[in-house]
Amino acid sequence: MFEKLTLPAFPIGGVYLLEPEYPWAEVERDVRLMAEHGFNLITLWPAANSWCASQPDDYAFDDTMRFLDLCQQYDLQVLIQLIGQTPSQEFMPDAVLQPDMRASAPTVLSWPNLNHPAVDAEVQCYFRACVDAMGEHPAVFGWDVFNEAHFRSDDPYTVRAYWEWLRDRYGDIETLNRRWLRRYASFDQVDPVDRASFYSVWSSLLPQVEYEIFRADNLTAICRRWCQYLKALDPTRPVVVDGCSALVLGSDRALRISPDGTTARVIATGLRNAYLARDPLTGILTASDQQGNWIPSTPLLRT
Percent of the chain with pLDDT over 90: 63
Q: Is the pLDDT of residue 245 over 80?
A: no
> For 213-236, what is each residue's pLDDT tens digit?
999 899 999 999 999 999 999 999
How much is the pLDDT for 242?
82
How much is the pLDDT for 294?
54
Query: Pairing mode, if any, of strands 239-244 and 140-149?
Result: parallel
Q: Which residues 6+ apart lie within 8 Å of 103 measured at CB? A: 110, 111, 112, 113, 114, 151, 152, 153, 155
How much is the pLDDT for 1?
40
Average pLDDT of the chain to the nearest whole number: 87
> For 134-146, what is each residue's pLDDT tens digit?
999 999 999 999 9
Strands (E) located in 70-162: 77-81, 140-149
Domains in the chain (CATH in brackets) are: 13-154+214-248 (3.20.20.80)
Least-confidence region, from 82-96, 149-163, 257-271: 257-271
Question: Can you tell me whether residue 156 is helix, strand or coil?
Answer: helix
Per-residue b/e over 291-300, b at no fewer than 16 CB within 10 Å? eeeeeeeeee
Going across the sheet that includes 300-302, the strands are 276-278, 285-288, 300-302
Confidence of residue 246 (pLDDT cuts 50, 70, 90): very low
- Contact yes or no for 271/250 (Cβ under 8 A): no
Q: Residues in the chain, how many? A: 303
Question: Does an H or E element contain 65, and which?
Answer: helix 62-73
CA distance 238 to 191: 39
**Cα dihedral: 284, 289, 291, 295 (round 10):** -90
Per-residue b/e over 142-159, b at no fewer than 16 CB within 10 Å? bbbbbbebbbbbbbebbb
